[in-house]
Amino acid sequence: MSFGYVGAKPVANQYNLDDNQLVIIDQPLAGAVPILKTSFYKITVGELKNNQNKNVNILPVLKYKTNMTVNDNYEPQGYLTLLNSEAYWDSMPDSSGQIIAVVDGGFALNHEDLTGRWYVNGNEFGTTEIEGVAPNCTSRSLPLDKNCNNLDDDLNGYIDDWRGWDFINVDNDPLVGTTNPVAEGVNHATVVAGLVGATGNNTFGSASLNWQSKIMPLQIFSDDGQASSLELAEALAYAIDNGASVINLSLGSTESDPLVDYLLEEAMNAGVVVVAASGNCGGDSYLLNGCDNEGQMLYPASSDFVVAVGATDLDDIYADFSSRGAMLDVVAPGSGAIITSDYSSLNPTNLYSAEVYGTSFSTPIVSSLVASLKTNWPEATFNDIRSVLIDSAYKPAGMANNLFTTSYGFGRIRPLEATNLASSCRSTLLKSDYNCDSEVSLLDLSLLASQWQKQYTGRTDSNNSGVVDLLDLSLLASQWGQ
């Protein structure tokens, strides 16, 4: 069982448990600490033994590892042209109120293209007259401020969390390189963050699809690429409770995780859209990427509660490393000359990538778009947003005119068309108005017919049953001509 950034190598066996190691249990016991927003608890093996409770269910604590790297030689930018970004930018909504939580490794917080993009918790930032015990602002010779006063000013359970949180080192500084700045894969989170929201139109560096939304940096991986289900669960709970509208998960596992799935459903019910990488299990290197079989869709992309993203190259051709399967929703560029923020210990502030390869990098492009869609349609549910992405997608030649394929999902995202569709569907009152043109007509019947008996489609599955069937046709008939 292995868990890691998409493309990770298998990790060492995690079941040699000593008394100080943490496990997850499903009921409260003496010494157990609740995991926020779930019915699960964490407890050390030693404390569990002291309880002498033989009926408790113990869940596996999955391990994570990363080995994702990118090249740092500049190449011409291309993916934004493929996505018709200039036309999209002309009508891009003001999504500055949207927060995209990036759950990943440590971040180059001082990178020139990201410094203005970070989410700031206003309740833990600003002047104050009080502080807790040392270490505090005074003991560190800093001006008195909520971000260093060693107090939980907003009472959310995290002290001085003014700019995200580091769940692996348990502090308020999700900065990369604090323990091993030259470790393998330390640049992963910075590249992902840049594709989520690198500042555009600032005369230098790169641009992301949407550079208005704020990025919430949540570190769960150590510099050496280690993390577990506990850090991921805590990060998801934090993002849900602290205002994220989108969560980017450029990570995956060969096995499902009940603790994480619980929180993914919580996110969906709270109106938070989780976007997850399908995996890099395609091709001959699938074993090196920690996969059980070639083409395997990884978890949580295989969950019902996320938008699952695969990768194409800059010619709209399926990337042969990309995982594929029935749960794939859409694809986005994730292979080739893509320029965005990068990190190395020698250049933590203005390094840029040249080429990226992985669904880890197609996923944040979709997350960036989802934040814009949420701006145009604030009341949209998870299914609404997923439907907009699906129904506006472009069908590359490799799909051979099919509605869906396991390699491309429902197609490659089209930002401008998705944004326009979200605006139209926001004001649509009839569920059977599939194309959101304000009437139920032959166009809607034709769309339903083209998706008949298909699973996990967009708006044609009007009752969200998972398949387009007679119930959807009956609803269309009842709303015909309206």
| Band of residue 73 on the pLDDT scale cut at 50, 70, 90 | very low
In order of 118, 247, 323, the CA distances from 93 in angstroms are: 19, 19, 32
Sign of CA dihedral 381, 386, 389, 391: negative
pLDDT band at 7 (very low <50, low <70, confident <90, very high): very low
- pLDDT, residue 16, reads 54
Whether the per-residue pLDDT at 29 is higher than 80: the answer is: yes
Instruction: Give dist(CA 352, CA 20) in Å, integer.
Output: 41
Q: What is the pLDDT of residues 364-421, one digit of tens each?
A: 999 999 999 999 999 999 999 999 999 999 999 999 999 999 999 999 999 999 999 9
* Percentage of residues of the chain with pLDDT beyond 70: 93
Domains of the chain: 3-63 (no CATH), 64-119+165-399 (3.40.50.200), 121-162 (no CATH), 428-478 (1.10.1330.10)
Report the pLDDT averaged over residues 415-433: 85
| 262-283 confidence digits (pLDDT tens) | 999 999 999 999 999 999 999 9
Report residue 69's pLDDT band, with 50, 70 and 90 as the boundaries: very low
Residue 456 predicted with pLDDT over 50: yes
Percent of the chain with pLDDT over 90: 62
> Taking 50 as the threshold, does the pLDDT of residue 300 lie above it?
yes
